[in-house]
Structure 1
Amino acid sequence: MNYESTVAPESGAVMTLGEQEAAAEQARRRRFAIIAVVAAVVLMALLYFFIHHGSDEAGELAAPPAGQVPVVSVVQPGHTTIDGEIEATGTLAARREIPVSSVGEGGRVVSVPVDEGDWVRKGQVMVVIDRSVQVQQVAGARAQVGVMQANLNLAQANLDRGLKLVDRGFISKADIDRLTSTRDSAAAQLQASRASLAELQARTARLNILAPEGGLVLTRNVEPGQTVGAGGSPLFTIAKHGEMELNAMLGEEDLAKVHVGSLAKVIPVSSGQTFSGQVWQIAPTIDAQSRQGEARIALAYAPGLRPGGFASATLSSGTVSAPLLPESAIMTDTKGNYVFVVGKDDKVQRRAVTTGLVTATGIAVTSGLTGSERIVLRAGGFLNPGDKIKPELSK
Structure 2
Amino acid sequence: MRLSRNFIIIGTSLLVLLLCLGLWALIPGRSIETNPQPAVIHDGDLLRIRAGGPLDGRLTVEPVATTLSPHQVALPAQIITAPGQSVDIHSPVVGRVASLHVQTGQHVQAGDSLATLYSGDLAQAWSDSRKAQSALTLARNAYRRAVGVLAAGGNAVKDMQSAQNDLKQAEAEARRAQQRLQALGTSGDEGSQPLIAPFSGVVTAISTGVGQNITDMTAILMTVSNINTVWVQASLPESLLPMLGTTMTLEAPFPGQTCSGPVTAQDPAFRTDTRRMNLYLRCNNPQERLHPGQFTTATLNIAQQAQALLPKTALLMDNDQVSVFVETAPKTYRRRYITISYEEGESVRILSGLHAGERVITHGAILLNDY
Shorter chain as denominator, the TM-score bin is 0.5 to 0.7
Distance 1:384 1:367 in 2: 21
The aligned counterpart of 1:295 is: 279
Task: Give the TM-score taking structure 2 as reference length.
Answer: 0.67
2:25 is matched with: none
Which protein has the larger Cα radius of gyration, Structure 1 or Structure 2?
1
Cα drift, residue 308 of structure 1:
2.5
* Cross-structure match for 1:109: 97
Residue 210 of structure 1, aligned match among 180, 184, 196? 196
Once the two structures are overlaid, the 10-residue window that deviates more, 76-85 or 188-197, is: 188-197
Q: Give the 3-state SS of the residue equivalent to 1:382 in structure 2.
A: helix
Larger displacement relative to structure 2 (294-303 or 284-293): 284-293
Which residue of 211, 218, 225 maps to 2:211? 225
Native 8 Å contact 2:245 2:303 kept in 1: no
Offset of 1:317 from its aligned partner?
A: 1.1
Q: Structure 1 length normalisation: TM-score?
A: 0.64
Question: Structure 2 unaligned runs (5+)?
Answer: 1-30, 38-49, 187-192
Aligned residue number for residue 341 of structure 1:
326
Percent identical residues:
19
* 1:155/1:375 CA distance change after superposition, 3 Å: closer
| Secondary structure of the corresponding residue to residue 360 of structure 2 | strand
How far off is 1:316 after superposition? Answer: 0.8
Distance 1:110 1:347, change over 3 A: same
Cα gap change, 1:95 to 1:278, in 2 (>3 Å): farther
For residue 325 of structure 1, the aligned residue among 310, 334, 358 is 310
Q: 1:161 offset after TM fit, Å? A: 6.5
Q: Which has the higher strand share?
A: 2
* 1:151-170 map, 5 Å: 153=141, 156=144, 160=148, 164=152
User: Number of residues paired by the alignment?
Assistant: 313
1:274 correspondence with 2:234: no
- Identify the structure with the greater helix proportion: 1
| Aligned counterpart, 2:243 | 257
Task: Please say if 1:248 is aligned against 2:228.
Answer: no
Q: What's the offset of the Cα at 1:109?
A: 2.0
**Any idea what SS the aligned residue of 1:328 has?**
helix
Give me the CA root mean square deviation.
3.9
Among 317, 334, 340, the residue aligned to 1:355: 340
- Change over 3 Å in CA distance of 1:84–1:188 after alignment to 2: closer
Deviation of the 1:330 alpha carbon: 1.8
**What whole-Å deviation, never above 9, does each CA across 1:346-368 have from its counterpart, x for those lacking one?**
21221112222422362222221
1:381 to 356, 366, 369: 366
Q: CA deviation at 1:75?
A: 0.8
- C-alpha distance 115-185 of structure 1, shift in aligned 2 (>3 A): same
Unaligned runs of 5+ in 1: 1-59, 167-172, 387-395
Letter in 2 for 1:367: S
CA deviation string 1:176-213 (max 9, x = no partner): 56874785577467547745753674466443333445
Structure 1 residues 343 and 122, CA, compared in 2 at 3 Å: closer, same or farther? Answer: same
Mapped to 1, the partners of 2:110 and 2:350 lie a distance apart of: 54
2:223 maps to 1:237: yes
| CA deviation string 1:67-110 (max 9, x = no partner) | 62311221113323222111111343223254424352232223
- Structure 1 residues 368 and 228: alpha-carbon distance in aligned structure 2, compared to 1, 3 A threshold: same
Change (3 A) 1:74 1:154: closer
Deviation larger for 82-91 or 179-188: 179-188
1:108–1:371: structure 2 CA closer, same or farther, 3 Å change rule?
same
What amino acid does structure 2 have at the position aligned with 1:349? R
Structure 1 stretch displaced more, 126-135 or 302-311: 126-135
Q: Aligned letter for 2:100?
A: V
Q: Distance in 2 between matches of 1:194 and 1:290?
A: 53
* Residue 318 (structure 1) shift: 0.9
Distance in 1, Cα, partners of 2:268 & 2:138: 66
Following the alignment from structure 1 to structure 2, what is the Cα–Cα distance between the partners of residues 77 and 187? 90
